[in-house]
Amino acid sequence: MRHFEHLAPSVRNGLFHQEPVAFDAGSKARTLSVALGATLYAPATRPSLAADVVKQAERGVVSMVLCLEDSIGDHDVVAAEENLVRQFAELDGGSGCVPLLFIRVRRPAQITDLVRRLGPAVRLLSGFVLPKFTEDRGVPFLEALTEAEAECGQRLFAMPVLESPELLHLETRRETLAGISRTVDKYRERVLALRLGVTDFCSAYGLRRAPDMTAYDVQLVASVIADVVNVLGRADGSGFTVTGPVWEYFRQHERMFKPQLRRTPFAGPAEELRTALIEHDMDGLLREIQLDRANGLQGKTCIHPSHVAPVHALSVVSHEEFSDAQDILRPERDGGGVLRSAYTNKMNEVKPHRAWAQRIMLRAEVFGVAREDVSFVELLAASVRAGV
């Protein structure tokens, strides 16, 4: 699989200076953690789950979470597990494209139990999402994952969700973060990415952000994101990929504030796209994606297919970013120094910007590099035309 493969080759050629590379479930963890992109959640109770998975893969989704936790009722868990086993068997017997699949469980015992029940279809499983992760609660999940991996003979990843009240509350945050850090470091080879459960953070204080506000406008949430990235998202080799929080909205609401999308980038034929994005509250999503990136987060948790294209369009590396990163990482500049960017609009300081440049090059590998005259607007418009 690869990003934007759902677009016709001629369309991709017109959009990309460097096209995304192919990857699969066996690729390096570092590559996969960035390639996750927009991770689409779906309740495990859906009767047409297998068909839905294939349909979303054909529309550009490369990672999905099939949820047995908060998205379904307590009384539906047994039926949802049975449905998952049936749907995996159907996917295993089909010929459609399948994205990276993860199961969000409630209890550690579900991991080993489901791996056994999936049988040969377990080959389609990339791992498990672990809810309300702390040191005490997380270790049993990771031990179960290790056991299941040994039993089925294939690599299985964990994606812990950081969403517990202990992480939110100021008096327990430092200790909780330290415990999470110890745990994920011990199981580093199995931890693909860390996911932020911002809805649970808001719930602890009876809050809910409006569609014209981002997670970063809710200061309680913003402070947790900052501390998580501070401790767990460092660029010195000790950090992990931390993914962006879920965007909850996908229908029009009455607005209190002006739209957050300027007209200029959408001038001409794309004006209708701007109007459609605003009508579906996508301008808030686009702003939050940009803020995710500015705050060190990669990819995003998504609960609606319409969110996938914006996340992926804004994940493509611009030609300007790519040019700067290339200049910074040239071997002859290993000694450091300062240089003017090729776009003559900024300073590139080699040593301080090196970690940024390395991250840009990894994102360029999996999401591609846009042509010099192509912006996210053209990328997004192409995906919308393709039916995403």
pLDDT in tens, 202-235: 999 999 888 888 999 999 999 999 999 999 999 9
- The DSSP secondary structure of 160-171, one letter per residue, reads EEE--HHHHSHH
Note whether residue 54 is domain-resident.
yes
Q: How confident is the model at residue 388 (pLDDT cuts 50, 70, 90)?
A: low
Asked whether 275 and 269 are in contact (CB, 8 A), the reply is no
354 in a structural domain? no
**CA separation for the pair 294, 305 (Å, rounded):** 24
- Which residues constitute the domain of residue 258? 24-315
Domain tally for the chain?
1
Residue 200 marked ligand-binding:
yes
CATH number at residue 86: 3.20.20.60
pLDDT at 240 over 50: yes
In a domain, 311, yes or no: yes
User: pLDDT per residue over 6-37, tens digit each?
Assistant: 999 999 999 999 999 999 999 999 999 999 99
Q: Is residue 343 part of a domain?
A: no
**Secondary structure element (H or E) that encloses residue 347, with its range:** strand 347-349
Please tell me the least confidently modeled range out of 114-123, 249-258, 372-381.
Answer: 249-258
Phi then psi dihedrals of residue 168, to 5 deg: -80, -45
Question: Does a structural domain hold residue 223?
Answer: yes
CB 386 within 8 A of CB 5: no
| CA distance linking residue 104 with residue 69, whole number of Å | 6
Question: Residue 327, CB half-sphere, CA atoms under 13 Å: how many?
Answer: 20
Q: 90 lies in a domain?
A: yes
Residue 2 lies in a domain: no
Structure tokens at 270: 């794309």
**191: in domain:** yes
Residue pLDDT, tens place only, 46-79: 999 999 999 999 999 999 999 999 899 999 999 9
Nearest to 221 by CA among 246, 241, 193: 246
CA 90-82-149 angle, 5° bins: 80
